[in-house]
């Protein structure tokens, strides 16, 4: 399957977005002072574990999607350089 340049860059951007958003979310989850993520004894709650799992899964999926986009961008660049070199005359 061939990806177009805009689709490849969108997937790369999605991967970067996932890194920024989910790492920030995890940092904020660990700093939660509302009592949702940690109980009075300081132990993680079910809310914490569910949201940590959600963040990790989303982070991994975003990384995979970004990697697919990066492979698409590299393939398009390789095709462009191959076409440019095949059009040169000796």
Q: Tell me the pLDDT tens digit for each residue of 9-62.
A: 999 999 999 999 999 999 999 998 888 999 999 999 999 999 999 999 999 999
Within 10 angstroms of residue 11's Cβ, the number of other Cβ atoms is 22
C-alpha to C-alpha distance for 42 and 69, rounded to whole angstroms? 41
Q: Note if the pTM is more than 0.75.
A: yes
Q: Residue 74 and residue 64: Cα distance in Å, rounded? A: 15
C-beta atoms surrounding 45 within 10 Å: 14
Question: What distance, in Å, lies between the first and last C-alpha atoms of the chain?
Answer: 33
8: burial class by Cβ within 10 Å (0-12, 13-18, 19+)?
Answer: buried
């Amino acid at each position: 399957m061939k990806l177009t340049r805009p689709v490849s860059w969108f997937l790369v951007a999605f991967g970067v977005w996932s890194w920024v958003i989910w790492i920030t979310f995890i940092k904020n989850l660990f700093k939660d002072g509302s009592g949702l993520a940690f109980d009075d004894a300081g132990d993680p709650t079910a809310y914490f574990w569910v949201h940590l799992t959600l963040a990790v899964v989303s982070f991994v999926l975003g990384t995979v999607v970004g990697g697919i986009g990066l492979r698409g961008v590299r393939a398009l660049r390789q095709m462009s350089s191959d076409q440019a070199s095949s059009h040169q005359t000796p």
